[in-house]
A and B are shown apart, each in its own frame.
Chain A
Amino acid sequence: MNASTADLTFLGREFLTWLWFKSEERGGTVMVPDVGDIGIVFAQKMVLASGEGQYSETVACSGIFSDLKEGKAALRKGKKIKEARIKLGIESNECEFTFKADSFQIQTMKLPATLNMNEEEVDKEGRILERIYLTETAFGMMEKLFSFFLNKRLSPKWDSEEVPRIKKWMRE
Chain B
Amino acid sequence: MGLIKGTVTVSKYRVIGSLPDNFKNFIDEQIKRFAFRDLSMGESEKSLGWTSLENILDTKFEYANYLIADYLIFSLRIDRKVVSPALLKLKVLEAERQLIEERGKGKIYREERSEIRERMHLSLVRQTPPVPSFHEICWNVSKGWLLFGSLSEKVREDFEDLFKDTFKLTLRPFVPWDTKYINSHMAEHILSINSTQLV
Chain B count of residues within 8 A CB distance of the other chain: 36
Least CB distance from B91 to A in Å reads: 35
Docked pose: A53 CA to B53 CA in angstroms: 37
Chain B: CB-nearest residue to A170:
B198
With a 10 A CB-CB cut-off, give which of A75, A105, A111 has the most chain B CB atoms.
A105
Q: With an 8 A cutoff between CB atoms, is B7 at the interface?
A: yes
Q: With an 8 A cutoff between CB atoms, is B109 at the interface?
A: no
Given A78-B199, A131-B3, A163-B196, verify A103-B11 contact (CB < 8 Å): yes
Docked pose: A107 CA to B148 CA in angstroms: 12
Write out the residue numbers on chain B whose beta carbons fall within 8 Å of the beta carbon of A64.
none
Q: With an 8 A cutoff between CB atoms, is A34 at the interface?
A: no
Which of the residues B10, B175, B199 comes within 8 Å of A77, measured between beta carbons? Answer: B199
Q: Could you tell me if A167 and B4 are in contact, using CB atoms closer than 8 angstroms?
A: no
Q: Could you tell me if B68 and A105 are in contact, using CB atoms closer than 8 angstroms?
A: no
Q: With an 8 A cutoff between CB atoms, is B190 at the interface?
A: yes
Least CB distance from A88 to B in Å reads: 12
**Chain A: number of interface residues, binned into ranges:** 35 or more
Docked pose: A155 CA to B174 CA in angstroms: 24
Docked pose: A147 CA to B7 CA in angstroms: 26
Write out the residue numbers on chain A whose beta carbons fall within 8 Å of the beta carbon of B193.
153-154
Q: For window 126-172 of chain A, which residues contact chain B by CB distance below 8 Å?
A: 127-129, 131-132, 135-136, 139, 143, 146-147, 150, 153-154, 158, 163, 166-167, 170
Docked pose: A158 CA to B196 CA in angstroms: 10
Least CB distance from B77 to A in Å reads: 19
| A-B pair number, CB within 8 angstroms | 111
Q: Could you tell me if A103 and B173 are in contact, using CB atoms closer than 8 angstroms?
A: yes
Chain A: CB-nearest residue to B174:
A104
Which of the residues A12, A100, A106, A132 comes within 8 Å of B177, measured between beta carbons? Answer: A12
Supply 14 further A-B pairs (C-beta < 8 A) apart from A6-B179, A6-B191, A14-B195: A1-B191, A8-B190, A8-B191, A105-B12, A108-B8, A108-B9, A109-B10, A124-B4, A128-B3, A131-B3, A139-B10, A147-B176, A154-B193, A158-B196
Interface residues of B (CB under 8 A from A): 2-4, 7-12, 53-54, 68-69, 71, 73, 138, 147, 151, 173-177, 179-180, 186-187, 189-191, 193, 195-199
24 A-B contacts, Cβ less than 8 Å apart?
A: A3-B187, A4-B180, A6-B179, A14-B195, A14-B196, A78-B198, A100-B151, A103-B175, A105-B12, A105-B151, A106-B8, A108-B7, A109-B8, A111-B8, A128-B3, A129-B69, A129-B71, A131-B2, A135-B8, A135-B10, A135-B147, A143-B176, A150-B177, A154-B189
